[in-house]
Structure 1
Amino acid sequence: MQMLDLFSGIGGISLAADWAGIETVAFCEIEAFNQKVLNKHWPIVPIFSDIRKLTKQSLEERGVDVGTISIVAGGYPCQPFSVAGDRKGEADDRHLWPEVFRLLQEIRPTWFIGENVAGHVTLGLDNVLTDLESIGYTSQPFVIPACAIGAPHRRDRVFIISFLSNSNCVGYQGAQQLREDISKIKKWRKGSFGTTSKLFNDIDWEKRAFQSSFLGGDDGVPNRMDRIRSLGNAVVPQQIYPIFAAIARIERGN
């Protein structure tokens, strides 16, 4: 399986996808510091800077076979929905969901995985789900806190899992199977599987923790504030890993 990673940051989503056996074929990330981190760890994956200029054609011009992209994932900017960002919603000039929606219509991936702050649930999420439904996606949002997987902070995040209902996913039996797989993740989130989910038996927090060379060490960029900002915006890979693992199982038909 191959994925397009939007608003990639320092690669937290793609790292989780790697663990699930999913290959990232392109990044879209505007911050120069983040681009350097991505290039260090995924040196052959092309990076696009501006989502407003990213198109199916521009991907193909850089050698990306768009027809092989089965997942588009990304944490579109949270400022329009966060308290720190004044919760201006669609009136915020940082509101870039329409660009994600445009790309989904162009690429038509089997799966879309979205990530945002928990405040998105009460501001803007309904419109996102309506947009997805209008182009044939069955969607389910839910909130997972980072502390549920052993992180030393709470960090509630809303994740959106969307499946293209008319796709030919191997082993997929329609919206019902999607709901069943999501319900398993919900049980994990509620603690049905214990403090640390059984889904993480092979993904241990300490063993999978970022090394200093990846996040906190010397990446050849001396600006400490860039590193701090990037860390603050990063997706915790362990938070999103069970979603990718479930998708991989569905695609394999087991």
Structure 2
Amino acid sequence: MNAVELFVGAGGLGMAVSQAGFKPQLVVDWDQWACDTIRENQKAGLEPFVSWPLIQGDVRQVNFSEISGSIDIVTGGPPCQPFSMGGRHRAYLDDRDMFPQAIRAVRELRPRAFVFENVKGLTRASFANYLEYIRLQLRHPEVKAKSKETWHEHLDRLEDYETRGKYRGLQYNVVMRVLNAANYGVPQKRERVLIVGFRADTGVEWHFPDHTHSHDALLWSQWRTEEYWDRHKVSRRSRPNDAKGKARAMRLREQPVESPWLTVRDAIADLPDPELHPLLAAARFSDHRFQPGARSYPGHTGSPLDEPAKTLKAGVHGVPGGENMLRRTDGSVRYFTVRESARLQTFPDEMIFHGSWSETMRQLGNAVPTRLAHVVVQKVRDRLTGTV
């Protein structure tokens, strides 16, 4: 089954597509650093990167007609800065908005399915009309904007077409939902909006995967059975003072059926502390070096060790101050290393990242966790192949 991956970045979604059994026919991104990261891993022979037909360039210049054969899925994360909670919120006025190119790819490639992901900020009330505009364009990709037609005028015409109920040509059934990565086994509370569509003639019925992990299950393992602390060999005096979490755990009538949320400690417990043991950390793991300068201030206090990490962020000009930090149980803070951040994004330890700490953290902060992406893409593939 063939795939096209747009806006691949560091490859979080792209890896999931390959792991689900799709064969990329085109992988594209304009960012040199992200492409260098992929090329470094190709040179190292790391799967699935070695087989990716990578193109570094502007997707607006890509001629999709040059791709031979049918495409089963188009995936990608159109640049999210126009919609990010930490960005400038310009949306359709922002020339970094690449959703028009994602829609063009669907229109020209006619895939059986597509999966696009973006930041939760896309669902803000101020962007509601534009999100509906995106959805209707993906549903009816051949109803193109006319010359000099504003997006509002185009939206009106799409709404007329949608409500008329008589469709011609290419049509997709589209669903979207905000998913919290922590609910799917990612050690990070990271919310992303996923947009999934199936070509109408496939007849596929589909819904987003059910949660596999929960906060209540984590609290149960910490404060009811204490299995979490025993597994990590954390003494009673070293455990955090979480009165609210204890109280919630004690109110639970029975053990949750889901698996516990994974925590920062779960993700990095086997990594030497790069501040306390810098030589050991650097010798045993690549990209695991202490980065000085972390400081805590109101609203930016770091990620507690025994909870899923807060959302890793990229920032417009590198890592924003006070973000992407670990907060130890004694209250001290330090920046996450690149390797720790990759763990929090469920990237493989063998993966190499190209660029400075700040640049690499930007790549990671823009990525979708591979584990979350795989859960969604695998279910899409299963429905396309009729295996479920």
Whether TM-score is above 0.5 comes out as: yes
Aligned AA (1:188)? H
Q: Which residue is equivalent to 1:29?
A: 29
1:170-217 deviation line (CA, Å, top 9, x unaligned)? xxxx25x22xxx15x1x32796961369xxxxxxxx8x943444145x
Q: Which has the higher contact order (CA 8 A, sep 6+)?
A: 1
**TM-score, normalising length from structure 1?**
0.79
How far apart, CA to CA, are the structure 2 residues paired with 1:44 and 1:152? 29
Which of 181, 194, 210 is equivalent to 2:347?
A: 210
Corresponding residue SS for 1:37: helix
Identity of matched residues, % = 27
RMSD, matched Cα: 2.5
CA positional deviation for 1:10: 1.1
1:8-51 deviation line (CA, Å, top 9, x unaligned)? 01111121122211222211111112112222232443222111
Which of 15, 39, 47 is equivalent to 2:54?
A: 47
Which of 86, 89, 94 is equivalent to 1:87?
A: 89
Aligned AA (1:45)? W
Residues paired across the two proteins, number: 224
User: CA 1:193 to 1:250, structure 2 compared with 1: closer, same or farther past 3 Å?
Assistant: farther
User: CA 1:106 to 1:253, structure 2 compared with 1: closer, same or farther past 3 Å?
Assistant: same
Q: Which residue is equivalent to 2:323?
A: none
Corresponding residue SS for 1:225: helix
How far apart, CA to CA, are the structure 2 residues paired with 1:213 and 1:224? 17
**Which stretches in structure 1 are left out of the alignment for 5+ residues?**
168-173, 198-205
CA positional deviation for 1:244: 1.5
Which of 46, 49, 64 is equivalent to 1:56?
A: 64
User: CA 1:241 to 1:144, structure 2 compared with 1: closer, same or farther past 3 Å?
Assistant: same
* Structure with greater helix percent: 1
1:134-175 deviation line (CA, Å, top 9, x unaligned)? 2311000011112123333211000011011024xxxxxx25
Q: Which residue is equivalent to 2:369?
A: 236
Larger Rg: 2
Structure 1: which 4+ aligned runs deviate by more than 4 Å? Answer: 189-193
Corresponding residue SS for 1:244: helix
Q: Which residue is equivalent to 1:147?
A: 182
1:91-125 deviation line (CA, Å, top 9, x unaligned)? 11111111111121111111110100111123232
Corresponding residue SS for 1:153: coil
